[in-house]
A and B are shown apart, each in its own frame.
Chain A
Amino acid sequence: MPKMNLSHFEAAFLFSVLVSVVLGVVTKNTDRDRLHYGVYTFVCFLLALFGIGWLMYLGHG
């Protein structure tokens, strides 16, 4: 099996996409709501990713 070398950002991005798809599929009752919730969780993941990333960068000094 090939080995995969991802950066922190790439791994977190991939994680966000896949988890958002599953959360979108299993939580809501209509396709429209599922799509909205999937996009919403993905955006939340990205905001947390960049927010915490900048927080660590600035906190590190």
Chain B
Amino acid sequence: METVPACRGTSPNCYTQRNPMAKEKTEEKAEKEPVSIRVWAPAVALGWLVPGGGHLLLKRTGRGVLLLAAITTMFLCGLMMRGTMFTPQGDDLLTVLINWGGWVGNVASGILYLMSVWLGYAQPDVAGAVHDYGTKFLVTAGLLNLLAIADAFEIARGRKS
């Protein structure tokens, strides 16, 4: 049986050994300490620009490749279904919400969105189930990338493995 040596000093380790509650408070304090923006900003920025890029930067290669493949496939399927890209505009509140929300979803795809706009993709909004699915695929790709960015942020801050 392992015995803990008697602690007679005044160091922090001795203090927390004698007072388990103090140890918990120390750990909580460490968790709440602000993490420098330099730690997580590169992962978040790269994660936005390239889907899964934040994970790849943080050496989570398998997960990064899976995210890259899934989000890129979803975006490309949306393009091939001739989905519409949203632009921030509108008169009444509902139209503003739909257009701005959709635009944020599109922009969240990062380089995929930027490349498609730079290369001249401008599908008009036409009636049809396939076009409608395409529009949803394009927005969902961006929203999934937001989830991936949030995950990369958590990993960079040390809250997740």
Contacts and interface: CB of A to CB of B under 8 A. Distances in A.
Q: Do A and B come from one complex?
A: yes
A53 to B, nearest CB: 14
Interface string B128-145: 011001101100100010
A3 B82 contact: yes
Chain A, interface residues (CB within 8 Å), range:
10 to 19
B80 A2 contact: yes
Contacts of A23: 147
Contact of A1 (B80, B129, B140, B151): B80
Contacts, number: 61
A58 to B, nearest CB: 21
Interface string A1-23: 11111101001001100110111
Contact of B70 (A2, A18, A30): A18
A4 B144 contact: no
Contacts of A18: 70-71, 73-74, 144
Contacts of B81: 3-6, 11
Given A1-B79, A3-B82, A25 B67 contact: yes
Interface of B: 63, 66-67, 69-71, 73-74, 77, 79-82, 129-130, 133-134, 136-137, 140, 144, 147-148, 150-151, 160-161
Interface of A: 1-6, 8, 11, 14-15, 18-19, 21-23, 25-26, 29-30
